[in-house]
Amino acid sequence: MKRFFVLTILAMLATSCGNSSAERQSAAPASLHKAWWKEVVVYQVYPRSFKDSDGDGVGDLKGLISQLDYIKSLGVDVVWLNPIYASPNDDNGYDISDYRAIMPEMGTMADFDALLKGMHERGIKLVMDLVVNHCSDDHEWFKQSRSGRNNGYRDYFHWWPAEKGTPPKRWSFFDEESNAWHFDRTTEAYYLHYFSRKQPDLNWENPKVRQEVYGLMKFWLDKGVDGFRMDVIPFISKDTTFPPLPAEYNGNYPAYYAKGPHLHEFLQEMNREVLSKYDLMTVGEGAGVAVEDALKFVDEDRKELQTFFHFEVSDWGRRKGDFMYPDSSRRLPDLKAVFDKWDKVFEHKGWGTVYLGNHDQSRMVSRYGNDTPPYRDSSAKMLHTLLLTMRATPYIYFGDEIGMSNIRFTDIRDYRDLATINYYKRLKKEGGNLAEFLAGQAEVSRDNGRTPMQWNAGLNAGFTRGTPWLKVNPNHATINVEGAEKDPNSILNYFRKMIRLRKTEPALVYGKFDLLDAENPDVFAYTRSLEGRTLLVALSFSTKGSSVALPARFKTGKLLINNLTESPVQGNGLMLKPYQAVVLEVGK
């Protein structure tokens, strides 16, 4: 008991949030425009790392097809598939050399058709990655464009002729020199690339480029795909006079990139010409977008996109020294404030998403939970409870359903991600602190989230019979699908149960979200209310016990889910064990 840190939500509610909370509770629920894409649960598959069928060490479409029954068994409705198009793989498929062809490592178009058919037969929808801010320097458009200043494709890209001098500074995410302009000798000009040198930015100001994009979107939609996840879509429009970067964006260049002059016109045009003609789902990767601009993308009246990935949770904790949060008692209150703020952005219009991991992040349980042996299981289940009880479309990254954790490489030679490798090269050149960099990458590198799926305890975790393109986490000996299937209390089976709960409780999808006890440093608690039914979600983010008392107007009813065996209900309050998560009826 001594270690128990008793916190009372009751006192806080009665005082700090008293009146405003009561007012919020009595307010009518947000206008509910029901839509299938608000009700789905999305499972993200990074195909390179999912399942290899031919022994080349790279996951492929046939491998994915062989696991469709597994995906179906999870209870998810949609798969978002990272890029599988032809690509030299400078950035694992985010550098596309032919938008209408399949990367040979992944398989063939016939495999793709079989995949789509197999998914649709199982009632699973397919969302493809649309990567059209840039393509590959191996794309025919770019080969033509760079071949001569008068080539018909010249204006498909952004060129700065050398006789105008050095172009105004633009930063690149992945470039070894952080420079987004690369000099090309053939025509004595620089081309723009916000990402790597092999990812030249397409010139959306050219109407021909936009028509090409709409054409390729229709190609996939006519095949029957069900939607698009749009890669760095806020970056597409550029001021082609390339003025010097305004001073206020120094150090925050994504915010500048996300404010191109014709961005929203282009999205409205895309909606008119393509999106409005299909019943599909769209999600824009909201890189660089400030909270006050987010609604513009998804406000139904503006006819642009449907949903939006914001970056504030994935960037959270990175401020001031990457993954270390300066004042640990502020960690959870700050994170809760981020969730609360973004819920309000889409309260009356638009719709949000929630995710805690993806192919650009380290593993969810290592980042927001606790991957040490005593807590990995409960904290992963707790995080799934969070993901599946928000007013937003949840995205679950493959492997998180079994609680896969960071691999934490210590040797630069183990990395495959160009972001890590190029940054390392740059630091080395500059004489920077490489040991410190590697220690940071062990926590935050994208490769942590890209290690192969752990299917079983055998060779290469059952991912491949060849040599995996990226090392398999040695903890596959204990963390793997086969073992999780046999254990009724596994993270995997809890995840399935949690999905079933979301599907039977409309309040968890559409219900009003009200944060409780915002300042509580250990517990994330909130209610979801719909048509008189109120559910309480209480999530411990602590290795200590935490007590939660509930407002008198709440009557604790049925415990709908609990990630531990003991009930935390004590009188009219809760006593949560470390990383305990519950969803509880608290009156109608």
Residues designated as active site = 231, 285
Backbone torsion region of residue 579, taken as left when φ is above 0, otherwise alpha when ψ lies between -120 and 50, otherwise beta: left
Residue pair 102/108 in contact (Cβ under 8 Å)? The answer is yes
State the Cα–Cα distance between residues 497 and 169, nearest whole angstrom. 51
Query: Of 58, 116, 128, 131, which lies in the binding site for ligand TEU, with binding defined by CB under 6 A?
Result: 131
Residue 355 binding ligand TEU, by CB under 6 A: no
Residue 311 binding ligand TEU, by CB under 6 A: yes
Residue 494 binding ligand TEU, by CB under 6 A: no
CB of 311 to ligand TEU, least distance (A): 6
State the Cα–Cα distance between residues 514 and 493, nearest whole angstrom. 28
User: Which of 88, 89, 70 minimizes the C-alpha distance to 79?
Assistant: 70
State the Cα–Cα distance between residues 305 and 35, nearest whole angstrom. 14
CB of 169 to ligand TEU, least distance (A): 17
Please report, as a single letter, which amino acid is at residue 282: T
Residue 231 binding ligand TEU, by CB under 6 A: yes
Residue 127 binding ligand TEU, by CB under 6 A: no
Residue 288 binding ligand TEU, by CB under 6 A: yes
Residue 360 binding ligand TEU, by CB under 6 A: yes
Specify the residue, 397 or 554, whose C-beta has the smaller distance to ligand TEU: 397
State the Cα–Cα distance between residues 423 and 437, nearest whole angstrom. 9
Q: Which of residues 94-113 bind ligand TEU (CB under 6 A)?
A: 94
In angstroms, the Cα distances linking 503 to 302, 374, 388, 534 are 30, 30, 10, 16
Please report, as a single letter, which amino acid is at residue 409: F
Backbone torsion region of residue 305, taken as left when φ is above 0, otherwise alpha when ψ lies between -120 and 50, otherwise beta: beta
Query: Of 112, 173, 190, 397, which lies in the binding site for ligand TEU, with binding defined by CB under 6 A?
Result: 173
Query: Of 213, 216, 217, 232, which lies in the binding site for ligand TEU, with binding defined by CB under 6 A?
Result: 232
Q: Which of residues 451-480 bind ligand TEU (CB under 6 A)?
A: none
**Angle between helical axes of 263-273 and 207-223 (0-180°, round to 10):** 40
Specify the residue, 470 or 515, whose C-beta has the smaller distance to ligand TEU: 470
Residue 216 binding ligand TEU, by CB under 6 A: no
Query: Of 359, 381, 476, 577, which lies in the binding site for ligand TEU, with binding defined by CB under 6 A?
Result: 359
Q: Tokens at residue 502, please?
A: 């979301």
State the Cα–Cα distance between residues 279 and 251, nearest whole angstrom. 40
Residue with tokens 């719909």: 530
Residue 357 binding ligand TEU, by CB under 6 A: no
Residue with tokens 């629920």: 29
Residue pair 85/106 in contact (Cβ under 8 Å)? The answer is no
Residue 195 binding ligand TEU, by CB under 6 A: yes
CB of 251 to ligand TEU, least distance (A): 12
Specify the residue, 59 or 288, whose C-beta has the smaller distance to ligand TEU: 288
CB of 470 to ligand TEU, least distance (A): 14
Residue 345 binding ligand TEU, by CB under 6 A: no
Q: Which of residues 150-169 bind ligand TEU (CB under 6 A)?
A: none
Specify the residue, 68 or 421, whose C-beta has the smaller distance to ligand TEU: 421
Specify the residue, 91 or 175, whose C-beta has the smaller distance to ligand TEU: 91
Specify the residue, 40 or 287, whose C-beta has the smaller distance to ligand TEU: 287
User: Which of 42, 34, 38 minimizes the C-alpha distance to 75?
Assistant: 42
Query: Of 60, 91, 226, 443, which lies in the binding site for ligand TEU, with binding defined by CB under 6 A?
Result: 91
Alpha carbon dihedral 336, 340, 342, 348, in 10-degree steps, equals 170
State the Cα–Cα distance between residues 214 and 199, nearest whole angstrom. 20
- Tell me, residue by residue from 239 to 258, as one string, x for binding to ligand TEU by CB under 6 A and - for no binding: ---------------x----
CB of 355 to ligand TEU, least distance (A): 12
Specify the residue, 195 or 437, whose C-beta has the smaller distance to ligand TEU: 195
Residue 37 binding ligand TEU, by CB under 6 A: no
Beta-carbon contacts of 61 under 8 Å, excluding residues fewer than 6 positions away, are: 47, 84, 102, 106, 107, 108, 111, 112, 114, 115
Specify the residue, 359 or 476, whose C-beta has the smaller distance to ligand TEU: 359
Q: Which residues of the shown chain bind ligand TEU in the complex (CB under 6 A)?
A: 91, 94, 131, 173, 195, 231-232, 254, 287-288, 311, 359-360
